[in-house]
Structure 1
Amino acid sequence: MSLIDPLVERVMRLHPRSIDLGLGRIEALLDRLGNPQRRLPPAIHVAGTNGKGSLVAYLRAMAEAAGYRVHVYTSPHLVRFNERIRVAGKIIDDDALDELITDCEQANGEKPITFFEITTAAAYLAFARVPADLAVIEVGLGGRHDATNVIDPVLSAITPIGFDHTGFLGDKLDGIAREKAGILKHAVPAVIGRQRDVSAGVIEEEAGRLAAPLFRLGREWQVTPTASGFRYESDHAGLDLPAPALVGVHQLDNAATAVACIERLRAARVRIDDAAIVKGLASVDWPARLQRLTRGPLVDALLPGCELWLDGGHNEDCGIALARQAVEWAKEPAPLPLHLVFGMLTTKDATGFLRPLARHAASARAVPIEGHSAYTPQEASARANDVGLDCIPTTDIGSALEDLLATQPAPMRILICGSLYVAGTVLARNG
């Protein structure tokens, strides 16, 4: 066990893991730390429901391809907490993180603070202490009242907005969009990904109030699929680009949103040329987003010709995106039957996630998620069966795969999905 495992356990025990949206606590802590958030390099602040993690990954890959040192803050992690904080391109090491958390706790004293707030403060402190050329900061939840929303970015970005975290953001799309649009800043340009009409209207209203120039997919810029990738077009640029390394039809939008951000960054004197964009598209890496596992114990246990895929998406729009990929898989000359292995938190709409996939999957196996408020395999199976997906409960990932291999004809394509916690368990188990 690494040093950081007991450290994170201690921080989780001392500071509530429950979400308590608001900026007062973290602003007070950052003030006691000397306001490190004001000493960041030029920053991009990314909000949205789906695709924001992929957008962060593209931006990092493209900027690093141009030779920039990039700070990155994302959440949640998959296997180790350290994944959340990249300092000048490198995942933070245990000793540095231990020192940062300790500094934050000493500055905070006995005052109330949440786990996400104190770890966000630690990230900003880390970024202020190490020189870099660019920072990419992903919102944790919502935007307006998220702990990350204490920075002055050179660019804001909002990926597609949908229904998620409704217990905190409400169940009305306009309300959710208003929270996400809360990252917009006065006169700071914002790149906007594909949106429903309701969300687009809310974003435009908030941007107008703040005089924030919008750069919107479908208005100021366009993306068009091509035989070899996609074409990005705006009033000032036209690029024919290769398909990104990340799999999925939806990744063309995510990649093009990154290109739109790069175009806006040039106005802020962050120069990332077209060659770096192409190199970044080829080198981008973002685990558990339609990731094909090609080695490891779980893969070794498969029968010849079988494929194992992993995706952490967990809401209705993610289900739709996975269904679109299933359609693409079905176009293959010899398509493999698709079988699902999934687990989901009770805070997620399991029916909404599974319904788009039901017509494309031959069967499913439901697994538990230990240590979290999750559907039992029996409850998850019932929701799958309700939307016409033949599903049976299993005790864990291993038993689900064993049952599929024992009962279904090979070769097959297996997609493990429904939760980033499930994805993290798979990656840890698969080495």
Structure 2
Amino acid sequence: MTYQETLDYLFNALPMFQRIGAAAFKKDLSNTIKLCDHLGNPQHQFKSIHVAGTNGKGSSSHAIAAVLQEAGYKVGLYTSPHLKSFTERIRINGLEIPEQSVVNFVTDHRFFLDELKPSFFEMTVGLAFDHFAKQEVDYAVVEVGMGGRLDSTNVLSPELCLITNIGLDHTQFLGETLAEIAGEKAGIIKEKTPVIISQNQPETFSVFKEQAMNRNAPIFFADQFYQVKQLGINNETLLCDYEVAKNGERSVFKMDLFGKYQEKNLPGILMAFEVLKEQGLKLDDEVIHKGLASAAQTSGLKGRFQKLQEDPFVYCDTGHNVEGLSIVMEQIGEMHFEQLYIILGMVNDKDISKALALLPKMAQYIFCQANIPRALPAEQLQQKALEHGLKGDIVKDVNEALAISLKKADKKDLIFIGGSTFVVAEIENL
């Protein structure tokens, strides 16, 4: 099989949630367990850190992986979805899995896969764990795809679980309330395994506390230990400064991860290092500082309030739900610019009214749509946006929309692209 034939097999074997939505959702772990058994249970052959949450789990996973790599460990990183290339999902020390390894996995196990008929996500998880085991990683940082309890990654026996935050996303699968969704995310909590909650929320506190108690798992609400405030871009380092207070002592961490939401993520990240050090991990403060300062560069993270150019500034962000977009808009509100242009695209299986209500009416909009079946048609998005006082034109292709915006914008203006991971993924110069 060629690499393209292999990708076609993976993508077409069964519907993929990211592209088509509900039809791809599976409600048990049986296929993942059978596949891992077939592969010799690679998920038990390395230490792992399991990361769930509605927002922030990708940034947190990349940051933890980068610091562990800075400390000299061989680190696997599994995340989803990818932006440009399938191989982004599976990395070791920042390097994406070789295309030939993907081909070999499918070729070697084709008969079993044809018989089992696992989903795209189940096969990808099996591939990741098999790759990490064969390459003998010291740690693998594994991001949950959706939910937690029934997610394919939930066959791990991790050293540590991290749950970033809970928001109203994927409600058709995970529940209609924050407490119900927290119950699904809490499904990653394992017996006697420390669990960290990055952001303490009144609606979810008791859910996590009860599940941790039932599993005899030590639980840490990280923002009760660490208080974080974004100070802004440091002109000397071109990194973002974050003031961290703990037990009355203050320090500044520099990160190449921008965006106000890192204020919510950083307590969980720092708490994770504290717990891992108690488990015997060799990690000093200097390594943590250095690792966080180059987290995005080291781990290859893209699309998290990423600056694409200056004069005018162009930023993109993959945030696509109310919680994610609200913090992005808060960040934009603190920036200095004359006119704001927003290139917006969304998916068709979410209630977007609350998200649209967050967006500034004074911005000039261009409505676009990603080239996937799940995309909300730009015409429908324009109509729904108009109900919230948001006016703009339709340019379906995001790159054409960006080109038009750049012709209109002056040097002191700001162009923002977002609303969907899949819109950001189609930006050519990302």
- Choose the corresponding residue for 1:19, options 18, 25, 28: 25
**Partner AA of 2:308 in structure 1:** L
What's the offset of the Cα at 1:383?
A: 1.8
User: What is the distance in 2 between the residues matched to 1:122 and 1:363?
Assistant: 44
Q: Judging changes above 3 Å, is the alpha-carbon distance between structure 1 residues 239 and 102 closer, same or farther for their aligned structure 2 residues?
A: farther
Q: Judging changes above 3 Å, is the alpha-carbon distance between structure 1 residues 202 and 250 closer, same or farther for their aligned structure 2 residues?
A: same
Report matched runs for 1:280-299 at 5 Å.
Answer: 280-285=291-296, 286-294=301-309
Post-superposition Cα deviations, 1:208-245, rounded to whole Å, max 9, x if no partner, equal 1111111113334433455773344556x956122321
Any idea what SS the aligned residue of 2:210 has?
A: helix
Q: Judging changes above 3 Å, is the alpha-carbon distance between structure 1 residues 26 and 379 closer, same or farther for their aligned structure 2 residues?
A: same
Other-structure match for 1:348: 350
What's the offset of the Cα at 1:341?
A: 0.3
Report matched runs for 1:247-266 at 5 Å.
Answer: 247-266=258-277
Other-structure match for 1:368: 369
Contact 2:63 2:292 in 1 (8 A): yes
- Choose the corresponding residue for 1:106, options 93, 111, 117: 111
What's the offset of the Cα at 1:3?
A: 5.0
User: What is the distance in 2 between the residues matched to 1:279 and 1:400?
Assistant: 37
Other-structure match for 1:302: none
What's the offset of the Cα at 1:190?
A: 1.0
What's the offset of the Cα at 1:368?
A: 1.7
Q: Gaps spanning 5+ residues in structure 2: where? A: 17-23, 235-240
Other-structure match for 2:63: 58
User: What is the distance in 1 between the residues matched to 2:245 and 2:344?
Assistant: 38
User: What is the distance in 1 between the residues matched to 2:75 and 2:213?
Assistant: 31
Post-superposition Cα deviations, 1:130-177, rounded to whole Å, max 9, x if no partner, equal 122211000001000000000100100000110111121122221111
Post-superposition Cα deviations, 1:171-192, rounded to whole Å, max 9, x if no partner, equal 2221111000100011111111
Contact 1:55 1:254 in 2 (8 A): yes
Other-structure match for 1:357: 359
Other-structure match for 2:390: 389
Post-superposition Cα deviations, 1:254-305, rounded to whole Å, max 9, x if no partner, equal 23321111111111211221111111221011211110113xxxx8xxxxx2
Q: Gaps spanning 5+ residues in structure 1: where? A: 300-304
Q: Does 1:327 align with 2:333?
A: yes
Any idea what SS the aligned residue of 1:261 has?
A: helix
**Partner AA of 2:265 in structure 1:** N
User: What is the distance in 1 between the residues matched to 2:4 and 2:339?
Assistant: 39
Any idea what SS the aligned residue of 1:82 has?
A: helix
User: What is the distance in 1 between the residues matched to 2:35 and 2:364?
Assistant: 50
Other-structure match for 1:10: 9
Contact 1:215 1:221 in 2 (8 A): no
Any idea what SS the aligned residue of 2:116 has?
A: coil
Post-superposition Cα deviations, 1:365-409, rounded to whole Å, max 9, x if no partner, equal 111221222111111111222222222211312332344345565
Q: Judging changes above 3 Å, is the alpha-carbon distance between structure 1 residues 336 and 242 closer, same or farther for their aligned structure 2 residues?
A: farther
User: What is the distance in 2 between the residues matched to 1:108 and 1:395?
Assistant: 37
Contact 2:223 2:267 in 1 (8 A): no
Report matched runs for 1:12-411 at 5 Å.
Answer: 12-17=11-16, 18-40=24-46, 42-225=47-230, 229-234=241-246, 238=249, 240-285=251-296, 286-294=301-309, 305-329=311-335, 332=336, 335-359=337-361, 361-407=362-408, 411=412
Any idea what SS the aligned residue of 1:215 has?
A: strand
Contact 1:244 1:252 in 2 (8 A): no
What's the offset of the Cα at 1:33?
A: 1.5
Which deviates further from its counterpart, 248-257 or 401-410? Answer: 401-410
Any idea what SS the aligned residue of 1:371 has?
A: coil
Other-structure match for 1:420: 421
**Partner AA of 1:372 in structure 2:** P
Q: RMSD value over aligned CA atoms?
A: 2.1
**Partner AA of 2:50 in structure 1:** H
What's the offset of the Cα at 1:88?
A: 4.5
Q: TM-score, normalised by structure 1?
A: 0.90
Q: Judging changes above 3 Å, is the alpha-carbon distance between structure 1 residues 392 and 14 closer, same or farther for their aligned structure 2 residues?
A: same
What's the offset of the Cα at 1:197?
A: 1.0
User: What is the distance in 2 between the residues matched to 1:195 and 1:85?
Assistant: 30
Other-structure match for 2:237: none
Q: Structure 1 vs Structure 2: percent identity of aligned residues?
A: 33
What's the offset of the Cα at 1:421?
A: 0.9
Contact 1:319 1:352 in 2 (8 A): no
**Partner AA of 1:401 in structure 2:** L
What's the offset of the Cα at 1:63?
A: 1.1
Count of residues in Structure 1 that have an aligned counterpart in Structure 2? 412
Contact 2:319 2:418 in 1 (8 A): yes
What's the offset of the Cα at 1:312?
A: 1.0
